[in-house]
Amino acid sequence: MNIVDIIERKKYGNVLDAKEIDYFVQGYSKGEIPDYQISALLMAIWFRGMNKSETAELTLSMVRSGKTVDLSKINGIKVDKHSSGGVADTVSLPLVALVAANGVPVAKMSGRGLGHTGGTIDKLESIPGFQTEIPTEKFIEIVNRVGGAIVSQSGELVIADKKMYALRDVTGTVDSIPLIASSIMSKKIAAGADAIVLDVKVGDGAFMKDLDSALELAKTMVEIGDSVGRNTVAYITDMNQPLGDAIGNSIEVEEAVNVLKGKGGKRLVEVIKTLGGEMLCLGGKAKDSAEGKMLIEKSIENGAGLKKFAEIVKAQGGDPSFIDDFSKLPQAKFKIPVSSKVSGYIKEMETENIGKFAAFLGAGRMKKGDKIDLAVGIMFPKKVGDKVEEGETIATILANDKSKGEEAAEKLLSLIKFSENPVKELPLIYYKVSEKGVEKLFNE
C-alpha cells in the first residue's frame, strides 16, 4: 500500500477502505507521509467527498492517532455537548452547571478560541484562580464529587486532527463536510462521553451559512456518533445575529452568571434549555427532552444551577465570590456607547463582522499563540425585530485601547440594517436530528 495509490483512487471518486484510511491517517500522524501528499489527498476528498462508512472510518482512525480519556470511573451516563461556534455563544458555562445540578455528570473538555473571541477555556480563565489544566484523575474526582467540570483538552488527544486541520487551514480544504464532521466527532469520542448533544450553528455568524449544509453536517455527525455506540443528537440553531448580549470573555462569564440568576436574554436561555433538556434525556434523568427542558427551567428558577456553578468554580480553584461582585473579573478601561443615528426596527446584522470587531479590540486571537485581552468586547443587547430610537444606545464597546474602541464604535453601525416598518423575529431552532430522523422545529 502506498499514499500515491490512495490519492489516485480518491481522485477518481473511489471508496477508500478502512485499511487505506488508517494507513494515511497514522502515517501522517507519525510523520511518515509528508504534508504535500496529504494536501493532495485532502483536496481529492474535498472534490469527491466521502460516504458514510469512509467518514466513520476516518473518525475512528483519527481517534486512534492519540490518547483517549477513560471516564468509566465516573458514575452515571456521561453526556457531552459541542457547539460549531458562533458570536456571543455563551452556552457552555451555564449549561454544564444546570445539567450537573440535575444529576447528569458533565466531564467537559473544551478548547481555546481562534477567531472573534476566546473559547470556553479562555472565558473561564477570566475567573480569579480558576484552573483549567487538571490531571485526569483529579478531573474525574471533581466530576464524581461535584457533578461537573470543564478542563482544557489534552494536546495528546486526536493528534491526526491537529495536524490535518492546520493543513486544511492553508490549503483551502476546511469546508468539507466529511472532514468537518470527522474532526469534531473524533475529539468528542476521544474525550470519553457516553452521549453527545451537538449545537450546529447556521447563518451569517456561523461556519455553515445555509440550512442545507448545516443539516447535512448534523446528519453526518449523528450517523458517526451512533455508528460507534455514542447516542448522538444535533440541533440546528440560528446565528444570523449574536446569540447572547455579550461578545468577549469576562463579559460572557458575567452573562453566564446572569442566566443562572434568571436574568438571561430570551434567545440564549432558550438554546440552553433546549440543549440541557436533551442532555438530561440522554442522561436518563428525564423521560423526554420536553421534561428535561422543564427541569432545566426549574433549576434556573430555584437557584440550583447557580449553586452548582459556584461549586464547580470552587472545586477548580476559583473564587466564587465574583458571582456577587463582577468587579473581581477583568474590567476594561473604556466604555464607549454606540448610538443609533436613525429610528426604526433592526432588520439585519453582519454577525460575523460584528464578531471580528471584538477580535479587533483584543477579545480573540487570529493565530495560535496570540494573547487575549479578557476584559474587552462588545455588549450588544439588541436583536433583529427590536425597535430603536434615534440617539438610543444600542451597543457598548469595552476597550483598553481608546482609539481602537472609538474606531469600532464608529464602524459598528455600518454592520446593522434598519427598517421603517416592524420586522419579524428570526427563527431560533430549525431542526432536531437524531437516529429517528429529522424533526422540523420552525415555521418558515
Provide the sign of the torsion angle of the four alpha carbons 293, 296, 297, 298, taken in this order: positive
pTM value > 0.85: yes
pLDDT in the model for residue 174: 85
- Cα separation of 224 and 57, whole Å? 9
Which CATH number belongs to the domain containing residue 312 in this structure?
3.40.1030.10
Residues 107 and 209 in one domain: yes
Does 148 reside within a domain? yes
- Cα separation of 332 and 151, whole Å? 26
Residues 236 and 366 in one domain: no
Residues 114 and 185 in one domain: yes
Among residues 12, 14, 13, 32, the alpha carbon closest in space to that of 22 is found at 32
Q: Are 103 and 341 in contact (CB under 8 A)?
A: no
Looking at the DSSP bridge assignments, the partners of residue 398 are 335, 377
Q: Distance of alpha carbon 388 from its chain centroid, rounded? A: 30
Check whether 374 has a pLDDT greater than 90: yes
Which CATH number belongs to the domain containing residue 16 in this structure?
1.20.970.10
Q: What is the pLDDT of residues 6-57, one digit of tens each?
A: 999 999 999 999 999 999 999 999 999 999 999 999 999 999 999 999 999 9
Residues 202 and 263 in one domain: yes
What is the DSSP code (8-state) at residue 425? P
Does 336 reside within a domain? yes
Residues 191 and 169 in one domain: yes
Residues 37 and 99 in one domain: no
pLDDT in the model for residue 119: 84
Which CATH number belongs to the domain containing residue 384 in this structure?
3.90.1170.30
What is the set of active-site residues? 82, 161, 168, 183, 187
Q: What's the total number of domains in the chain?
A: 3
Residues 150 and 218 in one domain: yes
Region 82-86 average pLDDT: 89
Q: What is the pLDDT of residues 257-307, one digit of tens each?
A: 999 999 999 999 999 999 999 999 999 999 999 999 999 999 999 999 999
Q: What is the pLDDT of residues 378-427, one digit of tens each?
A: 999 999 999 999 999 999 999 999 999 999 999 999 999 999 999 999 99
Q: Are 433 and 215 in contact (CB under 8 A)?
A: yes
Question: What residue numbers bound the domain in which 220 lies?
Answer: 79-325+428-440
Residues 321 and 350 in one domain: no
Region 174-200 average pLDDT: 93
Residue 141, burial from CB neighbour count under 10 angstroms (0-12, 13-18, 19+): middle
Provide the sign of the torsion angle of the four alpha carbons 137, 138, 142, 143, taken in this order: negative
Provide the sign of the torsion angle of the four alpha carbons 188, 192, 198, 201, taken in this order: negative
Give me 121's grid cell: 477555556
